[in-house]
Amino acid sequence: MPARRGDRFVVKGANSSDLIDAIRAVNRGEHYIHSSIAGLVIEDSLRWLRDDAPLSRREREVMSLLGGGRTPAHIGEILGISVHTVRRHLASATVKLGVQGSDGLARYAREHGFARPTEPVRSVTVRA
């Protein structure tokens, strides 16, 4: 399996033996994190496990609107952000919550109290 971005971390200025160890680990399909940053990576991972609210404020807003039946286009309009940005927030939330796709996120939002009741979309007038 080829290494994905984020599967290996070698710090700038690492010695040649560290670089060789990293290459060998990646060739075996393993992750490699240089010892000088391993503690930080572990602490960050543990923080995610301890955190009761792993989603950012914006991810929670997007989730609540999605759970209320809004489409990504409507969510973007309501929050004043692009559809692309809405989809990035949704993709991030799927990874953090371990759910599959928009349907899974909407279901999660409803089951975990994120869902905001659907309200009419504000009318926007576009003038040419």
Nearest to 9, CA basis, from 49, 36, 43, 44: 36
Give the chain's length.
Answer: 128
Q: What is the mean pLDDT of residues 96-119?
A: 78
Query: Where is 77: in which H helix or E strand?
Result: helix 72-79
Contact 105, 94 (CB under 8 A): yes
Output the pTM of the full model. Answer: 0.52
Contact 102, 90 (CB under 8 A): yes
Average pLDDT score over the chain: 77
Residue 8 main-chain phi, psi, to 5 deg: -145, 140
Q: d(Cα 26, Cα 31) in Å, to the nearest integer?
A: 6
Is residue 67 included in any domain, yes or no?
yes
Is residue 31 included in any domain, yes or no?
yes
Q: What is the mean pLDDT of residues 22-35?
A: 85
User: Do 78 and 37 share a structural domain?
Assistant: no
User: Do 105 and 68 share a structural domain?
Assistant: yes
User: Do 37 and 67 share a structural domain?
Assistant: no
Q: Which of 26-35, 48-57, 88-97, 100-109 has the highest mean pLDDT?
A: 88-97
Q: d(Cα 7, Cα 95) in Å, to the nearest integer?
A: 16
Give pLDDT, residue 8: 59
Question: pLDDT, tens digit, for every residue of 35-79?
Answer: 888 777 777 666 655 555 578 889 988 988 988 888 999 999 999
Is residue 19 included in any domain, yes or no?
yes
Question: pLDDT, tens digit, for every residue of 68-82?
Answer: 888 999 999 999 999
Give pLDDT, residue 126: 47
Give pLDDT, residue 118: 54
Domain that holds residue 94: 57-111
